[in-house]
């Protein structure tokens, strides 16, 4: 009997979907070898990340069903799933415009999508709303919004505009759920959500840590999608400290305290929540 080989590479191949339309990148011949390879690697990683993050919205959807949320929220989560998949195809089109294949290995294994079974159903939904909507997608809006301003061509800007529009919707979904359901929670659940914020902020810090290790990038490289580590890290920190943390605090969660606690854990060399070894 054949057994599934858990160590085998699994290839995400979007060449067929990506080939359905073409994107004009502009004059890519002005890129140096380093700029081009940084941009191509970033678009490849984005393609994989967007495709895989459909699972995150699937998990969000599942929690909403368990919590008895109405169809309008379920539809928004389902839409988020479809949009992440379509972003992966858009990234694949950018790769093809560079003359690359729209395929790349998937992480194996994929990170587990947490079910939050230690929480009440609505609290589990709000944990996802915080992590996905208030943090990750709000940071994504700031990052994509920054990058679209520097895009090299109308074609690339159109790709970023589409992704940005969708990320705005994903972020809004999280904030909307917080506005609608947080006031209905009891003091105990709110307190537990405030504690959860420490884990979320540590997870965000760890997730965005690779920006710290990346070098700066030229304007030309950035215009084609190569990442500038210091600039992106600055956008991340500003988003968290001037938008997300105050936004959560304004809704009655102990977000300032949680952020400071996450930093304290970092100072104490404590293993940050949600981290895993890249090689694992």
Partner 1 sequence: MTTRIEARKKGLRMAAHLAVVTGVLAGAAAAAQGAPATPTTAQTESASGESASSENGVSALSALLRTNARGGNCGCAPCWGPPAPPAMSDPLPIFGEEYV
Position 108 contacts partner 1 (CB under 8 A):
no
Which residues, other chains included, contact 209 with Cβ-Cβ below 8 Å and sequence gap of 6+? none
Position 229 contacts partner 1 (CB under 8 A):
yes
Query: According to CB under 8 A, which one of 61, 98, 224, 259 is a site residue for partner 1?
Result: 259
Position 224 contacts partner 1 (CB under 8 A):
no
Nearest approach in angstroms of CB 2 to partner 1 is 29
Question: Which of the stretches 1-9, 13-21, 23-31, 220-228 binds partner 1 when contact is defined by CB under 8 A?
Answer: 220-228
x/- contact string, 168-207, with partner 1 (CB under 8 A)? x-xxx--x---x--------xx-xx--xx-xxx-xx-xxx
Q: Are 104 and 48 in contact (CB under 8 A)?
A: yes
- DSSP output for 93-131: HHHHHTT--SEEEEPSSPPP----TTS-HHHHHHHHIII
Position 111 contacts partner 1 (CB under 8 A):
yes
Position 155 contacts partner 1 (CB under 8 A):
no
Distance from C-alpha of 58 to C-alpha of 213, rounded to nearest angstrom: 31
Q: In terms of CB distance, is 2 or 6 closer to partner 1? A: 6
Total chain residues near partner 1 (CB under 8 A)? 118
| Residue 48 tokens, joined | 């994989």
Position 149 contacts partner 1 (CB under 8 A):
yes
Question: Which of the stretches 9-17, 24-32, 71-79, 265-273 binds partner 1 when contact is defined by CB under 8 A?
Answer: 265-273
Query: According to CB under 8 A, which one of 52, 64, 69, 92 is a site residue for partner 1?
Result: 52
Q: What is the per-residue burial (b if ≥16 Cβ within 10 Å, else e) of 154-181?
A: ebbbebbebbbebbbbbbebbbebbeeb
> Which residue, among 66, 87, 62, has the nearest Cα to 77 in the 3D structure?
62
The Cα-based distances of 201 to 127, 250, 272 in angstroms read 12, 17, 9
The three-point CA angle 229-232-235 to 5° equals 150
Q: What is the radius of gyration, based on Cα positions, of the chain?
A: 19
Question: Which of the stretches 3-11, 17-25, 94-102, 142-150 binds partner 1 when contact is defined by CB under 8 A?
Answer: 142-150
Question: Which of the stretches 10-18, 25-33, 67-75, 211-219 binds partner 1 when contact is defined by CB under 8 A?
Answer: 211-219
Nearest approach in angstroms of CB 72 to partner 1 is 18
Nearest approach in angstroms of CB 89 to partner 1 is 13
Q: Are 134 and 244 in contact (CB under 8 A)?
A: yes
What is the three-class DSSP state of 11? strand
Position 61 contacts partner 1 (CB under 8 A):
no
Position 221 contacts partner 1 (CB under 8 A):
no
| Residue 14 tokens, joined | 């979007």
Position 276 contacts partner 1 (CB under 8 A):
yes
Judged by CB under 8 A, the chain residues 6 through 45 that form the site for partner 1 are 41-42, 45
Question: Which of the stretches 5-13, 28-36, 69-77, 256-264 binds partner 1 when contact is defined by CB under 8 A?
Answer: 256-264
């Amino acid at each position: 009997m054949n057994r599934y080989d858990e160590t085998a590479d699994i290839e995400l191949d979007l060449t067929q979907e990506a080939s359905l339309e073409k994107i004009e990148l502009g004059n890519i011949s002005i890129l140096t070898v380093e700029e081009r390879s940084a941009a191509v690697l970033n678009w490849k990683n984005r393609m994989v990340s967007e495709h895989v993050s459909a699972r995150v919205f699937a998990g969000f959807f599942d929690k909403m069903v368990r919590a008895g949320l109405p169809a309008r929220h379920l539809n928004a989560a389902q839409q988020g799933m479809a949009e992440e998949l379509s972003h992966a195809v858009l990234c694949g089109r950018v790769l093809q415009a560079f003359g690359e294949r729209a395929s790349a290995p998937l992480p194996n294994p994929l990170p587990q999508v947490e079910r939050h079974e230690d929480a009440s159903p609505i609290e589990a939904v709000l944990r996802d709303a915080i992590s996905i909507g208030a943090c990750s997608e709000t940071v994504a809006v700031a990052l994509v919004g920054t990058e679209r301003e520097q895009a090299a061509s109308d074609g690339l800007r159109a790709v970023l505009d589409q992704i940005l529009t969708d990320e705005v919707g994903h972020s809004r979904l999280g904030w909307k759920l917080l506005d609608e359901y947080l006031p209905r929670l009891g003091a105990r659940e709110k307190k537990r959500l405030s504690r959860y914020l420490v884990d979320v902020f540590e997870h965000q810090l760890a997730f965005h840590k690779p920006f710290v290790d990346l070098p700066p990038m030229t304007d030309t490289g950035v215009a084609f999608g190569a990442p500038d580590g210091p600039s992106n890290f600055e956008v991340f920190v500003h988003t968290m400290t001037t938008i997300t943390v105050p936004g959560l605090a304004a809704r009655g969660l102990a977000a300032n305290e949680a952020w400071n606690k996450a930093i304290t854990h970092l100072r104490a060399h404590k293993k940050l929540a949600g981290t895993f070894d890249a090689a694992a």
